[in-house]
Amino acid sequence: MPSPRRRLIALYAVLITALGALAAHQAVRHFAAVEPDEPTPPMVDAPRVETWKDMARKVEQPRGGPVGRAAKVTVPVELRHYTDRKRFLAIQVAATREQEFETPHDYAELVRLIEREKLVEVRPFGDDYLLYGVAGLANDDPFTHYDPATGVEVPLYDGWGDFRDAHDEMSARLDTLRAGVAAQRARLRRMPRKTRLQRRRRSALQSKINGGAAAVRLLEQRRKVLARFYEDYDRRRSVVGEYRLLVDTARTFEGRSYDLGRSADRVRFKARLLSFLRPEARDVMLEVAHGYREQFDRPLPVSSLVRTLGYQRRLTRTNRSATHIDVPPHASGMAFDVYTGRMDAGEQQALMTTIAALERARRVEALREPNDHIHVFVLPDGRRPAESLIALSKQDMAGAPAPRVARPAARRPAATRPAARRPAAPARPSRPGLPGR
C-alpha cells in the first residue's frame, strides 16, 4: 500500500490539477465575455454578431509585449514613401486612369457599379480575415447626389412633393433663425460696455450672433442648391431616379431588405455598399489574409475597402493620412487597408515581408502609414502604369496636400531602379488612427 505521505502528495497533485483546470476555464469564460473594443460593424446580421465578436477578440488578444507603432520593426523599403512624396499616389491615380476605372462620387454610382458586377462583396468575416473598422464613418444621414461641377451634395427626394416639403421646412427654419439673430442684435445694441464684465457679456452675445448668422447663410445656400436641382425638370428627373434606384436596390439587396426610411437601415445599407472591392483586389486581400492566419492563427483585420468620393471627403476631416485628391485610390475599388495596431513585432514583420514580396512582383503598390495601417493598392495587370501617365497624374495632384510621412529620411528613391534602394531603418512609434489614402 502507498504510504500516507505518497497518498498526500497524490492528493495535492490532483487538487493542483483541478484548480489549474478551473482557472483556465474561468479565463476562457472571461475572455469570451469581454466585449471587443471595436464596435460590431453595422452590416453584420444578428445571427453572426457573436461569431464576429469572437474573431475580434482574437484580433485584440493581448500579445504580452509592444504592439502597433510601439513594436520595434524594420520596415521594408517597398513599404516606405518614395523620395518624391507624390509618386506613391500618382502611380495609383495613373493606374486607375489607365484602366478607365469608374470612381463613384456617391452611393447611387456605387450601386450601379455593383449592379454591373464591377465590384464583389467582401463579407464581414471569412476563414482568414475580419472586417475591422470598415464603414466606420457610415451614418444615418439621408442619401445625397454629388455634383462634380460644383462640389456640392444634394439631398435625394422621391419627387416634387417631397422636395417642396423639405423646401418649406427650410424656409420656416430660416425665418426662426433670422428672428433669433435679429432679437440678439437688438439686445446687443441695448447692452452697456463700460465695465469689463459688461464687455465680456457683449463679446459672448456677439459670438452667438455670429454663429446664428453663419447658420442662416449655410441654410440659405442649401435651399438654393435644392431649388437649382429640383426646379429644373431634367435635373429633378435625374436625382429622383437616383433616389428610386437606391430604394429599389435596398429592398432586395443580396438577400437582405433595407427600408431607407429608417435611420438604422440607412446605416446598415451604406455599410454594406462600402464592403465591396474589385475582384482582383479581393483575391490579393484573401491571399495576404490566408498567409497571416496560417502563420499566427488570427484573422487579418481589414479596415477599409471601397469608398465613395463623398465618404472620402468625410474621412479627410478626421484623418490626416486620408488623401484629398480627386481620384483617391480607395474609390477605384482596387485598394484595401490592414490594421496593425494590435499586432506585435513578429506579426507586423511577417505581414510586411509578404506585402513587400507582392510589390517586388509588381502586383501591388503598398505603404506602411503612420497610423497603424498598411495601405495596399492592387495593380490590375501586374505592372506599373507608363511613366508619362504617372508624371501627368502627379501634375494634376499639384494642388493637393502632400501625404503625411512617418519617417521622411527613410524613403525609397523616385527613379525606377530597384537596385538603388536604401537599407531599411526602424520606424518611429506613433499613435493609432483611422485608415488613410
pLDDT in tens, 158-193: 999 999 999 999 999 999 999 999 999 999 999 999
Q: Please give the pLDDT value at position 322.
A: 46
**What Å distances lie between residue 15 and 8, 9, 18, 23, 257, CA to CA?**
10, 10, 5, 12, 55
Per-residue pLDDT at 425 exceeds 70: no
Mean pLDDT of 206-222: 94
Mean pLDDT of 143-154: 86
411: confidence class by pLDDT, cuts 50, 70, 90:
low
Mean pLDDT of 291-309: 96
Mean pLDDT of 264-282: 96
Say if CB 308 and CB 110 are below 8 A apart. yes
What's the maximum distance between 2 C-alpha atoms anywhere in the chain?
Answer: 105
9-66 pLDDT, tens digit each: 655 555 565 555 444 444 444 444 589 999 999 999 989 999 999 999 999 999 999 9
237-251 pLDDT, tens digit each: 999 999 999 999 999
**What Å distances lie between residue 426 and 77, 283, 343, 345, 429, CA to CA?**
11, 30, 16, 11, 9
Distance from C-alpha of 364 to C-alpha of 348, rounded to nearest angstrom: 18
Mean pLDDT of 104-111: 95
Distance from C-alpha of 213 to C-alpha of 408, rounded to nearest angstrom: 44
Instruction: Give the pairing of strands 129-131 and 300-304.
Output: parallel
Give kind and range of the element (H or E) at residue 270: helix 263-273
| Domains in the chain: boundaries | 68-141+272-420, 153-259
Residue-averaged pLDDT of the chain: 85
Report domain 68-141+272-420's class: alpha beta
Give the three-state DSSP class for 95: helix
Mean pLDDT of 144-154: 86
Q: Please give the pLDDT value at position 396.
A: 82
What letter represents residue 47's amino acid?
P
Instruction: Read off φ and ψ for residue 303, nearest 5 degrees.
Output: -105, -10
Mean pLDDT of 132-155: 88
